[in-house]
Amino acid sequence: MVDWIVSPAPVAYPQALAQMEARVDAILEGRADEAVWLLEHPPLYTAGTSARPEDLTDPDRFEVFTARRGGQYTYHGPGQRVAYVMLDLTKRGRDVRAFVEQLEGWVIATLAEFNLRGEIREGRVGVWIARPDKPALPSGETREDKIAAIGIRLRKWVSFHGISINVEPDLEHFDGIVPCGIRDHGVTSLVDLGLPVTMEDLDNALRRNFTSVFGDTSSLP
């Protein structure tokens, strides 16, 4: 069984990290079921294990936290749905690459419910939206905007951290970092793309698509 937890008010990052780690320990000890935690954060930046100092372009803008997850700098804030995914990969093949692909597939399937084509790109973590409506890059390449970030950590094969999807955040808040170290492309959101999607709409789509991507673990050992 997977518990779904929804926090109605923004959760401070240190509090969220402490609660995630406590839940992971409980899963490892057999005291708790797997969980997906849906929440928002106050405006902040997190630095993953690959973060480069030069990609924090405005260090005084928001508080910066060391996340110890994979990836580089990421923004979190109101209007962005964060889904922290605490799943036991021992039940799921212990394949980290396959797990990341499942997370990507989950986001893409969820976006498809809103008639959006999310795509992944070699060498660029996250999920992207092609923007032929914007001027092409100098190379002639179609410009693309990131709509979702992915970064995980494992403790004895139990995952934590997870994904974030932009519903209606203040996109100017991303200006204080180079999101995930990528300078040539931008950032977008569901509302920025003209879709009047609410957080509840997105949550429902995430739940509908979860089992089809990750499977029903109720019958697993």
Q: Which residues of 115-152 are buried (b: 16+ CB within 10 A; e: fewer)?
A: ebebebeeebbbbbbebeeeeeeeeeeebbbbbbbbbb
Is 80 known to sit in a ligand binding site?
A: no
Query: Alpha-carbon distance 77 to 168, whole Å?
Result: 10
List, in order of start, the domains of the chain with CATH numbers. 3-213 (3.30.930.10)
Is 208 known to sit in a ligand binding site?
A: no
Residue pair 91/220 in contact (Cβ under 8 Å)? The answer is yes
For every one of its 221 residues, what pLDDT tens digit does the chain have, with 9 covering 90 and above? Answer: 899 999 999 999 999 999 999 999 999 999 999 999 999 999 999 988 888 888 899 989 999 998 878 778 889 999 999 999 999 999 888 999 999 999 999 999 999 999 999 999 987 889 999 999 999 888 888 989 999 999 999 999 999 999 999 999 999 999 998 876 566 778 999 999 999 999 999 999 999 999 999 986 443 33
Is 212 known to sit in a ligand binding site?
A: no
Catalogue the active-site residues: 180
pLDDT digits 0-9 by tens, 98-141: 999 999 999 999 999 999 999 999 878 899 999 999 998 888 88
Is 72 known to sit in a ligand binding site?
A: yes
Predicted TM-score (pTM) of this structure: 0.92
